[in-house]
Structure 1
């Protein structure tokens, strides 16, 4: 169990690192003229194509799913992939970024409440304390007091983003009892890409002249590929793999490391200033996440998935 916890923690942090790279990269694409919705559409659609083609060539068996699996795959794609992105960008358009981020990242509280009161699983006091500490640190990193204003639509969208993010962890954990992480990530992206194309921006409507524009790291189209590969494909595969070693409530809190990594990346790559409060908040958040990780008792072992090799498929349950 110690090995599984260490491996799961490493996978979550790696997933957060890759996912956090989307901020600096997307900022370059948007500065060149793309809208946030266009970036999201490309991100999910390209990831779906890359994952599908990759599995078709190297692991075609992982593309075979049962009819009974589609309910979980549809839920994961609609809520855990498309829903999170759409709700977050609606919130950002109506609220300060820090408030929108804080609302979305209250997902660990929702996951913990679900695990405690729906599943009936006892969570140690350290887990609740660590979650609260991590959220306090997030509020400091996001500096939620700046430009604070109330917008009902934005508030509801932010809550919707949190609910969808909670679905990512809970549905993902449930789906992995019978499905491989690559299968969950691939079909989640396929469903998410179809939903985003239907509601937001189809991939084929992107302006060609904008894609050819130069950015500090290359043409816009190469930046979009980097977002799809590093910030999406690799991040989702690592995140799904982590859920095979740690319970969803622990993974959701450890994932709060992402905004800290994103802020550090923006400071290093984009010269965006970090305040003393943000630095303290980042340390507070990481301390809370560490407390939750330590509260992951060996007794949670039976709830996790028996396979420890993330490259081996899970046998479907009868």
Structure 2
């Protein structure tokens, strides 16, 4: 077994978070170009499924073997944890600043801690309740609910929080699934399940591929790129590459530590959105984001037993 090198793990995790952060803005541009959230999710899931399956078929085809008894679990894992998480995230970033949408989605660890305490009856540290209070307080600041109706789009907030529930389900199912399955193959098949789901939910014959060839502004001077370039980034550098970086990081860091480091993503995403598309956050929203991230950090360490390694496929 290779020797763990924490510094490498930190670098890989931050690299993955950086790519996911940039992907949020790229995805926003794709949505603004006229690709519906359902279709963008289908393109991302299908592209990532093809890339992962082809890569495994070339490198280690035996790892793609799957039994019929595993199909129901993988199907539920892919539909809830991958397809719906990504779709709801796209709905959220279509209505909220990218960094704020990520803050809502990344409350997933708090839901996980609540689940293992209230449903599994596992012991958690008292800090979990402090984490929950911090996260809820931070979300109040982010949404600025004291204003008339709040400053955040209600549907965007609902989508972000529901995405957090789906992401929590992903991690909980992944914890169970990787106990006796290859995490890389499991993630590949989960993307396949997500791709099949969207092929049924949003049939490809209803999609006009001509939108992919249109050149659209990307908020970098007068530069315009075809939508195909944006989608290619979303698939390769927004899903496949950061997935491999996140997975490689788990060879050097325990998942709890990797999860804590990954909470830098909303900060990076807000910075990218501010520099690229001038999405400006208020002081209250920035403060709320910091409070939420503090709560997430506490929630990540609330379980008395460390979670099993789970595959990283965060839908940001």
Q: Aligning the two structures, in what range does the TM-score lie when normalised by the shorter sequence?
A: 0.7 to 0.9
Aligned residues: 299
How much does 1:171 deviate?
0.9
Distance in 1, matches of 2:78 and 2:249, equals 18
Structure 1, residues 243-301: CA drift from partner, whole Å, max 9, x if none?
786567x87776554333322210122222232223323333343344445x367x625
Distance 1:102 1:38, change over 3 A: same
Q: 1:287 aligns with which of 282, 294, 299?
A: 294
Distance 1:89 1:7, change over 3 A: same
For residues 5-44 of structure 1, what are the structure 2 equivalents within 5 Å? Answer: 13-44=14-45
Distance in 1, matches of 2:209 and 2:38, equals 13
How much does 1:117 deviate?
2.8
For residues 1-318 of structure 1, what are the structure 2 equivalents within 5 Å? Answer: 13-88=14-89, 97=96, 104-141=105-142, 143=144, 148=149, 160-200=162-202, 202=204, 205-216=207-218, 218-239=225-246, 246=254, 256-293=263-300, 295=301, 300-301=305-306, 303-304=307-308
TM-score by length of 1: 0.75
- Note the aligned Cα RMSD (angstroms): 3.9
Contact 2:12 2:248 in 1 (8 A): yes
TM-score by length of 2: 0.75
How much does 1:88 deviate?
4.8
The more displaced of 155-164 and 31-40 is 155-164
Distance in 2, matches of 1:146 and 1:228, equals 38
Contact 2:12 2:246 in 1 (8 A): yes
The more displaced of 98-107 and 171-180 is 98-107
Distance 1:153 1:280, change over 3 A: closer
Distance in 1, matches of 2:147 and 2:38, equals 25
Contact 2:216 2:227 in 1 (8 A): yes
How much does 1:81 deviate?
0.7
